[in-house]
Amino acid sequence: MTTTVTGADIAIRLLAALMAGGLIGFDRSMRGRIAGLRTTILMCLAAAGAMIEANLMLEVTGKTAQSFTMMDALRFPLGILSGIGFIGAGTILRRGNLVTGVTTAATMWLITVIGLILGAGYIVFGAAMTLIAFLVLTILKGVEPRLKREHRSHLILQLGGTGPSDRAIRDRIRGAGYTISSFAVRHGEIRRIECHLEWYSAKAQDRTPELVEQLANDAGILAVEWTPVSAGHLFE
């Protein structure tokens, strides 16, 4: 960061912040996110303005090197980053196992850092950060849904005297591609089987699995209870 800032330097830095915020904001607006075009531009410009102000204050001089207070110009960007944490936290919502706004909050944090970089006069560095951020938001958007995720569920079966054996139930579950993490049986007039299942899939589990439908149609099985267990789903 240079100690002398001209009007041309300020114009270039603000223009770079405007372009960076606009590029990231365009992607966010196209996807209908909370922090869209205007929000990211304003945040980037605000961060750049704070950094430019810090840069301008480096020109303060006194009679001698020991006669004026040494100023910590980095307090300005640190204050900006602390404040943006409150705004980012406001975009994150949790409803049961559904968490939304995480990527939006991270984008707001990133665009602020980019604004600080551009405001400090590091145009090439800021441009590289902007390009990387844009590629991450656009390209990985199509990759992430294809990644396999771990799913878990709780399966309870109630069987009559003519129902399949415990071994047969295990074989059917494993044959359907599930891993049995626990398997408990309670014998009596009605045999009760409780088991926890795990599997990996890129698909969201928003419908009853084929295995459950097959078990429910088995004449020897009186009741089937399928309860998905989730550690929380993250959405933008």
More confident residue, 202 or 213: 213
More confident residue, 99 or 158: 158
pLDDT score at 150: 79
Side by side, the strands of the sheet bearing 233-234 are 93-95, 98-100, 233-234
At residue 81, the 3 state secondary structure works out as: helix
Is 121 found in the same domain as 207?
A: no
187 assigned to some structural domain: yes
Residue 196 amino acid letter = H
The per-residue pLDDT for range 24-51, each reduced to its tens digit, is 888 777 776 666 777 788 788 878 887 8
Is 153 found in the same domain as 39?
A: no
Is 66 found in the same domain as 140?
A: yes
Is 111 found in the same domain as 211?
A: no
235 assigned to some structural domain: no
Among 91, 113, 146, the domain-final residue is 146
Strands 221-229 and 149-159: antiparallel
Cβ within 8 Å of residue 46, ≥6 positions away? 80, 112, 115
CATH of the domain at 167: 3.30.70.260
The per-residue pLDDT for range 94-126, each reduced to its tens digit, is 666 565 676 777 788 888 888 888 888 888 888
pLDDT score at 155: 93
Among 146, 166, 183, the domain-final residue is 146
Q: Tell whether pTM > 0.75.
A: no
Is 120 found in the same domain as 68?
A: yes
Cβ within 8 Å of residue 89, ≥6 positions away? 105
Range of the domain at 208: 149-229
Number of domains into which the chain is organized: 2
The per-residue pLDDT for range 52-76, each reduced to its tens digit, is 877 776 665 444 455 444 555 566 6
Is 154 found in the same domain as 120?
A: no
Average pLDDT over residues 74-80: 68
- Of all residues in the chain, the percent with pLDDT exceeding 90 is 16
2 assigned to some structural domain: no
Is the distance from CB of 176 to CB of 63 less than 8 angstroms? no
Displacement of CA 41 from its chain's centroid (Å): 21
Among 102, 125, 146, the domain-final residue is 146
Measured in degrees and rounded to the nearest 5, phi and psi for residue 83 equal -65, -35
Average pLDDT over residues 205-225: 84
236 assigned to some structural domain: no
